Amino acid sequence: MSDLAILALSEARGWIGTPFVHRASCRGGGADCLGLLRGVWRVIYGAEPAPLPAYGPDWAETGADEVLWRALAARMRDKPLESGAPGDVILFRMRDRGVAKHLGVQGHVGAKASFVHAYGGHGVVESPLSRPWARRIVARFEFSERG
């Protein structure tokens, strides 16, 4: 596991217990899934990579524009789906015809796989990466020196 992956996972776990607040990114104060990743990013790289675009809280958003996927691919190293490692950023498509717009940070791998993420009604938690979650993964990324 790289130093960046260790740092990413450690920081993500430090947000556990933060309440869910749409579009927020304040450790302990409030965050959504993108806000969690923005907070991890700031610890690793010092500043956010781009202004925050408008986005809604609905996982059922339809359309062909994979804004989040493109943004991640432009700033992080793409990985094969089957090569999961702690500290990876995982992107989920929550609805069959929806855009991919939920993400988390891989915790454990293997039989007790987990990921840290934020979602409504739960806040930031580390959840088992169960089969229903795993089948929704559409992309996997890792932090790199380039940021």
User: Residue 114, SS3?
Assistant: strand
pLDDT on residue 3: 93
> Which of 18, 33, 36 lies closest to 100, judged by CA?
33
Q: Spell out where 47-101 has E strands.
A: 77-79, 89-92
The per-residue pLDDT for range 4-25, each reduced to its tens digit, is 999 999 999 999 999 999 999 9
Residue 59 placed within a domain: yes
pLDDT tens for each residue of 61-95: 666 789 899 999 999 999 999 999 999 999 999 98
In a domain, 47, yes or no: yes
68, amino acid identity = L
CATH of the domain at 86: 3.90.1720.10
Boundaries of domain holding 16: 3-142
Residue 147 lies in a domain: no
In-domain check, residue 57: yes
Residue 127 belongs to a domain:
yes
- Pairing mode, strands 123-128 and 30-31: unpaired
How many structural domains does the chain have? 1
Please report which helix (H) or strand (E) contains residue 134, including its range. helix 131-134
Kindly report the backbone phi and psi dihedral angles of residue 117, in degrees, each rounded to the nearest multiple of 5, phi listed first: -155, 170
If you search the block for the tokens 């789906």, which residue do you land on? 81
